[in-house]
Structure 1
């Protein structure tokens, strides 16, 4: 059903209206943000950074995304039909889609992100998308951090009240009148030279830090085991 809706929206030029509808929906939610000072300071100095987020929380951060529109961040989005809908939505938010994923065109998209960070302040990386498994960081984030030299800033996002979709990622959809909580982790610098063993160790370290950050926030709001 979603595929039919997304195809209709793309072919009918309704994506921008869908974007306005989403923006209207989130007017009924409150956003609370913590620990964003280091990230904003780096952006103000035009120093590049990578924002890492779980696929499960993409919808949750949408009402917070206008904060980054002035920086026009890049974001990797799959080449699928659903990816086209998401790419058009992100373009409405003044984000710049770079098409590719771990399964289709990933190497080329990663190279484009590295080049993009040489002239732009931020790139957003969905670490376990587009097909999962959820809660498992794919190697692309570590490779991107190595090649660009930009630090990784993990973001966690949760909501006081939400629906949990029956999708592979168990996507969190904030309910109207809920409070959306955004929290930033400390920046993670990826060493440029890593042998395979240390590469995997680094991947697991970043994965564990992102999971811990998100799970601690979820626990404070009464959510448990959303990555199991």
Structure 2
């Protein structure tokens, strides 16, 4: 357990070094403000490769009424990220992007609907395939009645690591642009073909959000 604590504190120190030295600007941040004012909570959704900066943004948005949270894998791989999220004061629901667990579904519904927590989801996590959206984020928006909000960022300089997700590593003093995409409101009920179409639509919105962030660099 000591090893986990040490890794979490080192990770937090590294994240803060990047965040506090970076030149960060948010594109369409007023969109998130308006959605929180109207709906109380949202379902922030971003690719696994954008996990580092998007998560740090969510725990420090400064948006009034925004309560950050995260859906994190229940496997042992999710232990350190859970501890890191809790270090930042975020609520954690243990479950996967596929949302097959009843406990996870109940947990995320309670967090979002009852407590007003905006639970961030990486829809291609925890192990990919990269940029292939699993239905969990859409299902969450369905059962909670909250909008799914695509988030992406671009940075200069940046490096893609040789991991399955091509994780984006940003050095200190980088230029970072975070974009808030067009929200998606799924219908309450969908057939399988409709769900697949919805997944492709959210993938498209995530891509458009990234393109917006990149254009702002």
Q: 1:116 aligns with which of 100, 105, 111?
A: 111
| Aligned partners of 1:158 and 1:217 also within 8 Å | yes
| Aligned partners of 1:30 and 1:177 also within 8 Å | yes
Establish whether residue 95 from structure 1 lines up as the match of residue 93 from structure 2.
no
Q: TM-score normalised to the size of structure 2?
A: 0.87
Establish whether residue 54 from structure 1 lines up as the match of residue 50 from structure 2.
no
In the comparison of the two structures, how many residue pairs are matched?
214
Q: What secondary structure sits across from 1:33 in the alignment?
A: strand
Q: TM-score normalised to the size of structure 1?
A: 0.83
Q: 1:67 aligns with which of 39, 53, 61?
A: 61
Q: In the superposition, relative to structure 1, how do residues 74 and 179 fare at CA in structure 2: closer, same or farther (>3 Å)? A: same
Q: 2:170 aligns with which of 167, 170, 174?
A: 174
**Aligned-pair distance for 1:180?**
0.9
- The equivalent of 1:136 in structure 2 is 132
Residue by residue over 1:162-191, the C-alpha shift from the partner in whole angstroms, topping out at 9 and shown as x without a partner, is: 121100000001122111110011211111
Listed as ranges, the gaps of 5+ residues in structure 2 are none
| Aligned partners of 1:75 and 1:97 also within 8 Å | yes
**Aligned-pair distance for 1:40?**
1.2
Q: Distance in 1 between matches of 2:32 and 2:148?
A: 10
Listed as ranges, the gaps of 5+ residues in structure 1 are 1-6, 222-228
**Aligned-pair distance for 1:200?**
1.4
Supply the RMSD in Å over aligned alpha carbons: 2.4
- The equivalent of 1:33 in structure 2 is 26
- The equivalent of 1:80 in structure 2 is 75
**Aligned-pair distance for 1:105?**
6.2
Q: Distance in 2 between matches of 1:76 and 1:83?
A: 10
Q: What secondary structure sits across from 1:67 in the alignment?
A: coil
Establish whether residue 146 from structure 1 lines up as the match of residue 142 from structure 2.
yes
